[in-house]
Amino acid sequence: MAVRFPRRAGRVAGGCLLALLLMPVVAPASGAAEGVRLDQIQVIGSHNSYHAGLAPQVAALLAWRDPKAAQGLDYAHADLPAQFDRGIRQIELDVYADSAGGRFAHPKSARWLAEAGLPPADTGDGAVMRRPGFKVMHIPDIDQRATCQPLLACLGQIRAWSRAHPGHLPLFVLLEIEQGSRPPLTEPEHFTARSFDALDGEIRSVFAPGELLTPDQVRGEATSLRDAVAARGWPGVDAARGKMVFLLDQRSNRELYLKDHPGLRGRVAFTNAPPDAEDAAFTELNDGPPEAIAALVRRHMLVRTRADADTREGRSGDPARRDAALASGAQLVSTDYPDFEPARWTGYRVGFGTGLAARCNPVTAPASCRDAAIEPRAADALRLRRLVLVVRHGLRSPLADQVPSRALVDHAWPVWTGTPGDLTPEGAAQMRLLGAWERTLLAGNDVPGFAADGCPAPDALRLRANSSRRTVASAEAFAMGLAPGCPVAVRHEPIGVPDPMFAPVEADAGQVDLRALLPRLREEAAAAGLLAGPPHEGLAVLRRLMGCPGRGALCVDDGAPAVLDVDASGRHLTLSGSLLPASSAAEAIMLGSLSGRPAATVAWGAVRDEDFAGLSGLHAAMLHVITGLPALAPVLSQKLRPAIAAGLTRADGPAVAVWLGHDSTIVPLLAQLGLHVHAPGYAADDVPVGSALGFALLTDARGGHPVVRVLFQSRTPGRQGAGDERDPPDMAYLAVPGCGGGAVCPLATFTRLLGVSSP
């Protein structure tokens, strides 16, 4: 049985990302979607699909000069093949004419950065930009970075993926022709009828006639596209498999594209046409309203709409526009945040919840339509065989040393009941929920020894916790969710006794001389800018929440530089300056807010959702210094890395191994593998409470070709303890450097990158 995942009843969005453990589809059986037309399905599209994101220096400059514009451009996508692998079936490419070449080879942003005293930025391949040909970018001078360049290269990527995946649903390619002037930016070359002829010619130079679905094919013998679509609808899904459908975005280009091609005769692309025009087969209603979209869909028109825009929904998390777009029946629903690329602020995302690339249209699909028949999962999809999870404990109360002194904060600090640092009731609920979700995942994928009901088979599960009270309690709560009512042993050292698996230096200081390593660690921390003081954004948020201005050091310091050292025992790094106390105070505030405590008992101001990114940035910076420096990460993970490799390779090992520790358990592993995480709602490279780093072993049906997929599970601040076992955590798949850039890594390669000999 292929990897499969549960569908959440009554929901149409925010899908289960673990379904993407599936390999791409292969050619489906003939007639798999018999009787279903292209206008009777729905797919997810990506907006500005080529967008690689602003160069950091340009982003900083734009944030200073035009913060609103900077916010609207703060998104990026994986490359086109990776998007297709993950189920995207509609992409958008912004196309600029550059018939002479060189028009965009020297972005004006270089001069603006120099004038602002900022270093130069990578804004695209200058050699490519100097050659004639259509270019792909968002905004000249500012936002030129693309994952493929020029247009011919993008088309080549589309063709290569298509030919490697015969029988796929049509790929809808929306072309936005850019020619508007935006002084003082470089003025684009204006399109002419000849420009459009050249564009069609470039497309035809890449794709064979049988690989394109063109207006002539849809029109057939009818007098117009409008009449053909009204009478017959679009072609059937099965007849269109493996083809490309090109669409023009702006309606303003329509008349020029139609010149000398009445009714789009001989053209490659479909125009964004008024619904009653002769060339009407496709149109856009990016802002709805849903009722108007549904009316056009019932007329068999192909409609594109947008689920979000300008990062607004990504920042607010408001799903109203998304849900309305999906329910409207628009066949192409475009987003900046497909399921596999959730918004980092809120976890907002757009998908179907099935792991499939398409679904039956909610407005017009025939009763016989079945989601799984539109683009079935591959019969030879990879199977989930084993899962190794490294989990940070659940929500806890602040540690005793996270209560700042009056010298730092000249206010009374909020008082918590109970033992400092212990797992809270909310944290226990959080861990039970995570365990319940893993049970649903394992049972749904027929992992040996796990079923939806009943206890795991003997030796199918191994659970080990670090020796603190909160990690042991977290492991016990996790086990209650994973195997309710079952006798699951949680292995751990006696409470308070250092466990070499989780804390090798603390357990045996003689193994590593931290003092000898200190000069290198200081050099690495300084090079990363981590000793200059706390991140300014996080410090500003912290000061507001602490009621600054005041006389406390955290209110008046501009961020004292830190000094990295080793304590007298030789077992711990120490950090002077303001980063450590700022990080501790920020984490205490976050913990209080996550626990649902009233704002008055957490901080002196309300903690807003957007505050978490700033506060957790302080925590992430501290984590990097203390546990994630390149020279330190192999030392702190020296025992756990071989254990993870054994969990993936040993024939007599359990199907599921869970290591329950701290953020300091996960960060060294990430650093060792060169990985970065960005949990939605938190700062980059922070590791929230209750998050998990996973290593999934996948093989084919015969158990051969073992590969590893690395994943990171977390929940946004507002979803820490919410939902049920069918409600998946937010998921990110991490491409491991050294694995060729693919979504999976050969097992032997992965164990080598872990620093462990191949099995």
pLDDT at 725: 53
Alpha helices in 1-108 (DSSP H): 56-65, 67-72, 80-85
Residue numbers in the chain where pLDDT is lower than 70: 1-32, 122-125, 376-381, 444, 509, 558-560, 598-605, 701, 719-728, 741-743, 758-759
Closest CA to 155 of 107, 120, 203: 203
What class is the 38-373 domain?
A: alpha beta
Looking at the DSSP bridge assignments, the partners of residue 462 are 657
Dihedral sign of CA atoms 608, 614, 615, 617 in order = positive
As a whole number of angstroms, the distance between CA 218 and CA 757 comes to 57
Interhelix angle 536-545/611-627, nearest 10 degrees: 120
| Number of residues that this document lists for the chain | 759
Interhelix angle 193-206/151-164, nearest 10 degrees: 30
pLDDT at 136: 95
As a whole number of angstroms, the distance between CA 651 and CA 216 comes to 58
Could you tell me which residues come within 8 angstroms of residue 247 by beta carbon, excluding any fewer than 6 positions away?
172, 173, 174, 175, 269, 270, 272, 282, 302, 304
660's enclosing H/E stretch is: strand 656-661
Closest CA to 473 of 418, 528, 517: 418
Interhelix angle 611-627/579-594, nearest 10 degrees: 130
93's enclosing H/E stretch is: strand 90-96
Q: Which two tokens stand for residue 487?
A: 């006798």
As a whole number of angstroms, the distance between CA 81 and CA 255 comes to 33
CATH of domain 383-754: 3.40.50.1240
Question: In this structure, which amino acid lies at residue 422?
Answer: D
pLDDT at 11: 28
pLDDT at 378: 53
As a whole number of angstroms, the distance between CA 245 and CA 151 comes to 16
3-state secondary structure 190-212: CCCHHHHHHHHHHHHHHCCHHHE
Query: Quick count: other Cβ atoms within 10 Å of Cβ 685?
Result: 21
pLDDT at 9: 29
334's enclosing H/E stretch is: strand 332-335
As a whole number of angstroms, the distance between CA 343 and CA 336 comes to 8
pLDDT at 742: 65
Q: Which two tokens stand for residue 236?
A: 């059937």
CA 189 from chain centre, in angstroms, equals 35
CA 307 from chain centre, in angstroms, equals 17
Closest CA to 87 of 19, 13, 167: 19
The pairing of beta strand 707-714 with beta strand 730-734? antiparallel
As a whole number of angstroms, the distance between CA 743 and CA 741 comes to 7
pLDDT at 8: 29
As a whole number of angstroms, the distance between CA 64 and CA 61 comes to 5
Query: Domain boundaries in the chain?
Result: 38-373, 383-754
Contact 731, 17 (CB under 8 A): yes
